[in-house]
């Protein structure tokens, strides 16, 4: 009986490790460098297809090999000046979201920006996490499957008011 329990515990331990790996394997992160000037905005166009080796699918979908439920696009943001005495406000805006070049179903794409809010003499990291909502019908799914998801990210550093 003890051997059976020990074998069960070992299987459970390895199964938990595989499950944890499978969850982490569903996340995809890509790094990008951006340099901005004081008071100037810089817009970066992102094609999600070039940011991930997998295909973004809704969290509720049954994943196939290569599917991911979340893509994290990381930006290392620097100023073109490194002699500032006070921090600047850093604004990050995501807009112009398209699926297959169309805005029709772009509302299915969710973006969450993590922004430190300020920038000074050292680079900061900004992340944009992208997820996809479940389409309301198979017809909508057929319209968006295998389509490129693109969006713009605009970074602006300004003097606090």
pLDDT score for 4: 42
pLDDT in tens, 39-89: 888 999 999 988 777 889 998 888 888 889 999 999 999 998 878 899 999
Residue 30, pLDDT score: 54
Q: SS3 for 77?
A: strand
- Helix (H) or strand (E) segment spanning residue 3: helix 2-25
Res. 20 pLDDT band, cuts 50 70 90: very low
When pLDDT is averaged across residues 110-131 and rounded to a whole number, the result is 95
Residue 31: pLDDT band with limits 50, 70, 90: low
Of 36, 156, 49, residue with least CA distance to 94: 156
In this prediction, residue 14 carries a pLDDT of: 43
User: How distant, in Å, are the alpha carbons of 1, 76, 145 from that of 72?
Assistant: 47, 13, 20
Residue 144, both tokens? 């968006």
13 pLDDT exceeds 90?
no
Q: What is the reported pTM?
A: 0.78
Closest CA to 149 of 93, 113, 105: 105
135-to-24, 50, 56, 109, 156 alpha-carbon distances in Å: 24, 23, 13, 10, 33
pLDDT at 7: 43
Q: Which residues contact 9 (CB under 8 A, 6 or more apart)?
A: none
- Choose between 7 and 106: higher pLDDT: 106
pLDDT given for residue 26 in this prediction: 38
Distance (Å, whole) CA 84 – CA 101: 40
- In the chain, the percentage of residues whose pLDDT exceeds 90 is 53
pLDDT, tens digit, for every residue of 142-154?
Answer: 899 889 999 999 9
Which of 22, 26, 46, 25 has the alpha carbon at shortest distance from 34? 46
In terms of residues, how long is the chain? 161
What sign results for the dihedral spanned by CA atoms 25, 26, 32, 37? negative
């Amino acid at each position: 009986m003890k051997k059976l329990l020990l074998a069960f515990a070992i299987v459970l331990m390895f199964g938990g490790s595989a499950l944890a790996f499978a969850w982490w394997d569903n996340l995809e992160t890509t790094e990008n460098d951006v340099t901005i000037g004081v008071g100037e905005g810089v817009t970066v166009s992102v094609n999600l297809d070039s940011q991930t080796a997998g295909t973004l699918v809704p969290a509720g979908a049954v994943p196939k090999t290569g599917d991911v439920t979340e893509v994290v696009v990381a930006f290392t943001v620097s100023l073109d000046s490194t002699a500032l005495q006070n921090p600047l406000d850093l604004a990050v805006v995501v807009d112009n979201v398209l699926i297959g070049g169309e805005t029709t179903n772009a509302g299915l794409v969710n973006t969450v920006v993590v922004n430190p809010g300020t920038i000074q003499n050292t680079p900061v990291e900004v992340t944009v996490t992208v997820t996809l909502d479940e389409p309301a019908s198979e017809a909508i799914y057929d319209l968006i499957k295998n389509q490129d998801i693109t969006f713009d990210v605009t970074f602006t550093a300004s003097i606090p008011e």
